[in-house]
Structure 1
Amino acid sequence: MNGFWGVTRAIVGREFLRFVHQRERFFAALVRPLVWLLIFAAGFRAALGLSIIPPYQTYITYETYIVPGLCAMVLLFNGMQSSLSLVYDREMGSMRLLLTSPFPRWWLLFCRLFGATTISVLQVYAFLGIAALFGITMPPLGYVAVLPGLILGGLMLGALGLVLSSFISQLENFAGVMNFVIFPMFFLSSALYPLWKMGESSPLLRDICAINPFTHVVELIRFLLYLQLNLTALAWVLASTLVLGVVAAWGYDPARGMMKRKG
């Protein structure tokens, strides 16, 4: 157990050191959601009317509605960015060295994923703090209740990044694929508009949004912020995390996935 704790501390600590030395990552993670919250929301407020839908008990402003989606955006971008660094580590050889250690491959990947998720959660709380300064607040206990949802969502989106990084061998290719994945996942979700609103214009797009795992990360966060549990969203996120984690472990198997193609 001491060995497992030691490798966990080393990998997570390395993620924090990298984050500290790359302070622009912190500000970049906040700029994107704040632009949506303070600029785009002002224009969309009049165009997108909202009905009273769970978990809300009354009419809310558009800014309040999109906060959970912007929290998930922080998790998504940071998960992809962390996986981008994995591709870099693989090109430099440090990832290959890590995977040849005597510890189980799945544990090494989980430690890397947990470190990135912890950083993502801290960035989300920083965003929620800034939003509160502008008068966009949630129930006080919601800030505590949402923590498990943020961790689960971060693990799922980070696992998605691991899957992508395991099958992409070059850094420049991953950057392009990252954008191809991020923007469809974000816009085809309930982050910016409720599914019923999407269904008014296109039932097909609504159905696509409904099966998008990112939608369920958003809804899990949304309900937890208001001290409610969306069991459907929780089941989707847990199942997606498990599947993506298994695929990532296979992709980083030195005998089969990425390491074999690189050897």
Structure 2
Amino acid sequence: MRTAFIALAAIIQREALRFIRQRERFIAALVRPLVWLIVFAAGFRAALGLSITPPYQTYITYEIYIVPGLCGMIILFNGMQSALSLVYDREMGSMRLLLTSPLPRWWLLLCRLIAATVISGLQVYAFLAIAAIYGIHLPWQGYVLVLPALIIAGLTLGALGLALSSLIRQLENFAGVMNFVIFPMFFLSSALYPLWKMAESSELLHDICAVNPFTHVVELIRFALYGQLNLTALGWSALAGVVFLALALWGYDPSHGLTRHKR
């Protein structure tokens, strides 16, 4: 048990040092949602003001609405980038050495997942701080209560990245898969528009958004920022995380997973 936690601390420290040294990665993680918040949302402020819908108690501007979705965007991109680095480590040999250590393979993958979740949480809080300076003010207790939601979101979306990384053997292929997964998940969700607006446009789009795991992750964050618990979003997010993690563990199992067939 002591050895397992030493490995966990070492992997978190390694990922944190890598993140600190790669300042471009930190800047890029913040620039992407800030461009959406400052440019895109400002352009649609007048046209897309939203009426009173849970968890909001009054009319809100579009900038306020998309903040939870942008938090989810940060976690989604970081989860995919963490999985991309895992593919790189597996090609260069460092991850291969970790996977051949005496520790269980599932624990090593879980350590990578926890480390990615920690980094995602730090990025989200940095974004929320900048958004507050910009003028997006949320309930003060929401900054604390959102932490469990960010952990669940980080584990769920990070597990998705791990599952995808188990399918891809070459670094070049994973970059294309990332774009194929990230953008449909982001745009076909409630990150940018509420589901009832989707239903006004197309029932099919509404149904796709409703079953999208990213939608439930965003709604979990949205309600948590206002001190409320969305049990439906929590249940579906947790279920999706368990399924993605199970697929990742199966994919990295050398005796049963896809790695056995791709050597």
- The question of a shared fold, defined as TM-score above 0.5 by the shorter chain, is answered with yes
Q: Distance in 2 between matches of 1:49 and 1:125?
A: 25
| Contact 2:16 2:119 survives alignment (8 Å) | yes
2:252 corresponds to which residue?
252
- Residue correspondence of structure 1 range 59-98 to structure 2 within 5 A: 59-98=59-98
Within 5 Å, give how 1:121-160 maps onto structure 2: 121-160=121-160
| Distance across 2 between alignment mates of 1:144 and 1:22 | 27
Tell me, in whole angstroms, the C-alpha distance in 2 between the residues paired with 1:36 and 1:212: 21
Q: Conserved in 2, the CA contact under 8 Å of 1:169 and 1:258?
A: no
Corresponding residue for residue 211 of structure 1: 211
For the pair 1:221 / 2:221, whether they are aligned, the reply is yes
Q: Which residue of 1 aligns with 2:261?
A: 261
In the alignment, residue 227 of structure 2 is paired with which amino acid? L
State the secondary structure of the residue aligned to 1:227.
coil
| 1:1-263 aligned within 5 A | 1-263=1-263
Q: Quick check: 1:216–1:237 contact (8 Å CA) kept in 2? A: yes
- Deviation, structure 1 residue 262: 4.2
3-state SS of the aligned residue for 1:255? coil
Q: Matches of 2:88 and 2:258 in 1, distance apart?
A: 14
2:49–2:59 contact (8 Å) kept in structure 1: no
Q: Alpha-carbon deviation of 1:259?
A: 3.1
Kept in 2, the 8 Å contact 1:160–1:244? The answer is yes
Q: CA RMSD in A?
A: 0.9
Secondary structure of residue in 2 paired with 1:66: helix
The gaps in structure 1 that reach 5 residues or longer are: none
Q: Distance in 2 between matches of 1:74 and 1:167?
A: 23
Q: Gapped runs of 5+ residues in structure 2?
A: none
Runs of 4+ with deviation above 6 angstroms: none
Amino acid of the residue matched to residue 29 of structure 1? A
Which residue identity does 2:32 align to in structure 1? R
Distance 1:59 1:200 in 2: 20
Q: Give the deviation of 1:47 after TM superposition.
A: 2.5
Deviation at 1:17, TM superposition (A): 1.3
CA deviation map 1:58-95 (0-9, x unaligned): 00111000000000000000000000001101111222
1:100 and 1:86 map into 2 onto residues whose CA distance is 15
Give the TM-score of the pair, scaled to structure 2.
0.98
Which whole-Å CA distance do the structure 2 matches of 1:179 and 1:257 have between them? 24
Q: Report deviation, 1:258.
A: 4.1
Q: Partners of 2:96 and 2:254 in 1: how far apart?
A: 8
Counterpart amino acid of residue 247 in structure 1? L
Q: 1:14 to 1:258 in 2, by over 3 A?
A: farther
* Partners of 2:139 and 2:225 within 8 A in 1: yes
Q: Give % identity.
A: 74
3-state DSSP class of the match of 2:71? Answer: helix
Residue-by-residue CA offset, 1:119-152 (whole Å, 9 max, x unaligned): 1100000000000001101100000000000010
Q: How many Å separate the matches in 1 of 2:262 and 2:89?
A: 13
Tell me the SS of whatever aligns to 1:167: coil
Q: Residue 236 of structure 1 aligns to which amino acid in structure 2? A: W
